Amino acid sequence: MAEVVKRAYKYRFYPSPEQAEHLNRTFGCVRLVYNRALEARTRAWATARQHTTYVQSSTWLTEWKQSGELAFLNEVSSVPLQQTLRHLQAGFAAFWDKRSRYPRFKSKRKSRASAEYTRSAFRWRDGRLTLAKMSSPLDIVWSRPLPEGAEPSTVTVSRDTAGRWFVSLLVEDPTVKPLPPVDGDVGVDAGITALVTLSTGEKITNPRYERSDRRKLAKAQRDLSRKEKGSANRAKARLKVARIHVRIADRRRDHLHKLTTRLVRENQTVVIEDLSVRNMLRNHKLARAISDAAWSELRNMLEYKAAWYGRTVIVVDRWLPSSKACSACGWITQVMPLNVRSWTCQNCGAAHDRDVNAAKNILAAGLAER
């Protein structure tokens, strides 16, 4: 029997003033506990070469809550505080496995304001969600239904930079099942002018949402820079900038969801290139366009949707000369500047569109590894 997929359903909600105050206090406590624990674990290693664990940091949390200085931690649910310690432990585990950088401190301005509640810290009854230490349920806008009979196992509440409130419910979703097998395989070449070029010859245009709103964003940022720091007008101007940013991000994410769902549904195997986006962003001439294309998010969506629906994603070596190699005969040209968008193979005479040729080579390399 296939394992039931756990899936997060995200909704907007509108808290009452009391709920907003309590959640903002919770976010602050979560951030404080994370930073305190990170500082203590870092100091333990720097001074005594002592490895600390989640259990030890949990003991510290108990001591902090009993001290006069941090007694206010008792005013919020203990579950989000414990969960942030688990997240810190996961961050250290990823660092030790060389999968990520050393955990960094959470900034009040830059870090995501969120709190995670497990089953013991919320009540779910008749489709109404009430969090621990709250007397009334959240006013959630049910933009789409949950799977029938779904019971959330984890609830994450967050507030974005534009002041919008969201709740994410993690549930078992029996509707996510492997799709019927299909014959299609496709190679995907990521780009800037065309967001992706497929080995079939199709090109998906890059909407460039950031560029379309660039003038509006620049004006809002100029207005923000003129406002006095700490003033109410500066707070309003900052919110205006944030709303433009989230509008860009929302439209980009929606486009990527539609594109990746289509690729996964239509193809049994999707082959992509292992791009080093972080290194590519060092090119200051292209960094803005690369960020707007969101290649990392594209890959992430492809991988988890393929896992959901019984498809395969193959990632080929980033050093594959996909653009320089002739997909017809394999001959490799030595020089291929970025401004060359079409070329003719000197060995076999085949005419190539640069991106379509690259997608064909990516597909061939991926199928050879299968």
In the 8-state DSSP scheme, what is residue 296? H
Q: Give the 3-state secondary structure of residue 246.
A: helix
Token digits for 261? 């769902």
> Residue 158: left (phi > 0), alpha (psi -120 to 50), or beta?
beta
The CA distance from 40 to 285, in Å, is 41
Q: How far is CA 235 from the centre of its chain?
A: 27
**Which contiguous run of DSSP H or E holds residue 289?**
helix 287-293
The CA distance from 145 to 139, in Å, is 15
Read off the amino acid at residue 257.
H
Length in residues, the chain = 370
Active site residues: 189, 273, 355
Read off the amino acid at residue 193.
T
Read off the amino acid at residue 42.
T
Query: How would you label 223-243 residue by residue, b for 16+ Cβ within 10 Å and e otherwise?
Result: bbeeeeeeeeebeebbebbbb
> Residue 89: left (phi > 0), alpha (psi -120 to 50), or beta?
alpha
